[in-house]
Amino acid sequence: MKTLVAHAARDIRIEERDMPTPGPGEVLIRMERGGICGSDLHYYNHGGFGVVRLKEPMILGHEVSGRIEALGADVDLPTGALVAVSPSRPCYACAYCLEGRHNHCVDMRFYGSAMPFPHIHGAFREYIVADARQCAVADGLTAGEAAMAEPLSVVLHAAKRAGDLMGKRVLVTGCGPIGQLAVLVARAAGAAEIVATDMAPFTLDKAREVGADATHNVAEDREALGRYTANKGHFDVMFECSGAAVALAGAIPALRPGAVVMQLGLGGDMTLPVQAMTAKEIELRGSFRFHAEYFTAVTMMQAGRLDVTPLITHTLPLTDAVAAFDLASDRTQAIKVQLQFQDPLAEPDR
């Protein structure tokens, strides 16, 4: 079977691996779609992010969906069903798992992660064996929608940590896929006003399409948020999705006293305007991955409460992986780029 392996910055290769076989409690999945995430792009463009670096070749990918092809013993799932496959694989036994903080598991095996060594291989491959409890049956969704469950879960986890958004004024900085989903989730949660900022007209247009009330291009107007600073600020909640220190620092004057900053963007260490944040009693809350929210994401999409399809801007075959990664890196024309692992008209290639 074919897999997509990162060797170093700007060096990804399609390589053959042996077909896996499901054991007890496992399923064999014939992969259909995989979304290229920001972390995948960091591995592709830079060989890692922050202190996390590729130290050995690693299969990329963690936003995936596919169809169940075979069952291991003691599995009660329908063969042929489309499933969204959660990349979150905690141990369920450590202190954090027992506290319900599975995203902080000390022995987490998250697909496509170079944080531990040896690295945890990802899911950009034609077939994968997964635990049955990773699989969310995605009846009624397309393979592309099902593969969006992972980034949507990231934002649902952040929204849960942000608290009640009903009637709140929300600022979203950075309109990549996570920022776009933050707009969608805030709108669904009853936010009274949503303002989004970015540096690309294409992403800002898309943010308005999915629910932002106003958008500002901070590359063209660096003082755009100045209009929101009267009376000590305007916004109750900020979803910081860019990972850029300048975005966070520039937004503090526009936040009301007691506002909550949800930090989702990961771009390395950031210098914070601590004095200004202290004086306004602003809360900075981190948000890292997800766990239970994955199944919630699938359920919400199935119910029609969240429509992620406008965010899937391109789908390319696995054989065009380099072109797909280059396209996904270009925010002037792409939001979410997905890989198609199988030719739907072809016989399975084992």
The yes-or-no verdict on residue 349 having pLDDT over 70 is no
The predicted-structure confidence for 93-129, as pLDDT tens digits, reads as follows 999 999 999 999 999 999 999 999 999 999 999 999 9
Provide the β-strand partners of residue 71.
Answer: 27
Is residue 196 within 8 A of residue 156, CB to CB? The reply is: no
Structure tokens at 292: 């239970």
Per-domain residue ranges of the chain: 2-148+308-340, 155-286
Structure tokens at 87: 């990349």
Share of the chain above pLDDT 90, in %: 93
Cα gap 270→144, rounded to integer Å: 34
The three-point CA angle 62-324-306 to 5° equals: 55
Pick the CATH number of 155-286 from 3.40.47.10, 2.40.50.140, 3.40.50.720, 3.30.420.40: 3.40.50.720
Q: Compute the mean pLDDT over every residue in the chain, rounded to the nearest whole number.
A: 95
The predicted-structure confidence for 264-286, as pLDDT tens digits, reads as follows 987 767 888 999 999 999 999 99
Is residue 225 within 8 A of residue 249, CB to CB? The reply is: no
The predicted-structure confidence for 176-203, as pLDDT tens digits, reads as follows 999 999 999 999 999 999 999 999 999 9
The yes-or-no verdict on residue 297 having pLDDT over 80 is yes
Q: What is the pLDDT of residue 268?
A: 67
Dihedral sign for Cα atoms in the order 9, 14, 20, 25: positive
CATH topology match: 2-148+308-340 vs 155-286:
no
> Is the model's pTM score more than 0.75?
yes
The yes-or-no verdict on residue 25 having pLDDT over 80 is yes
Peptide bond into 118 cis (omega under 30): yes
Q: What is the pLDDT of residue 175?
A: 97
Q: What is the pLDDT of residue 9?
A: 95
Q: What is the pLDDT of residue 348?
A: 46
H-type helices in 193-233, by residue range?
201-210
Q: What is the pLDDT of residue 344?
A: 55
Cα gap 236→258, rounded to integer Å: 8
Is residue 338 within 8 A of residue 147, CB to CB? The reply is: yes
Q: Which CATH superfamily is domain 2-148+308-340 in?
A: Medium-chain alcohol dehydrogenases, catalytic domain (3.90.180.10)
Residue 20 gets which letter from DSSP? P
The yes-or-no verdict on residue 28 having pLDDT over 90 is yes
58 pLDDT tier (thresholds 50, 70, 90): very high
User: Which contacts (CB < 8 Å, 24+ apart) does range 243-247 have?
Assistant: 243/174, 243/267, 243/268, 243/270, 244/173, 244/174, 244/270, 245/270, 245/271, 245/272, 247/173, 247/174, 247/197, 247/218
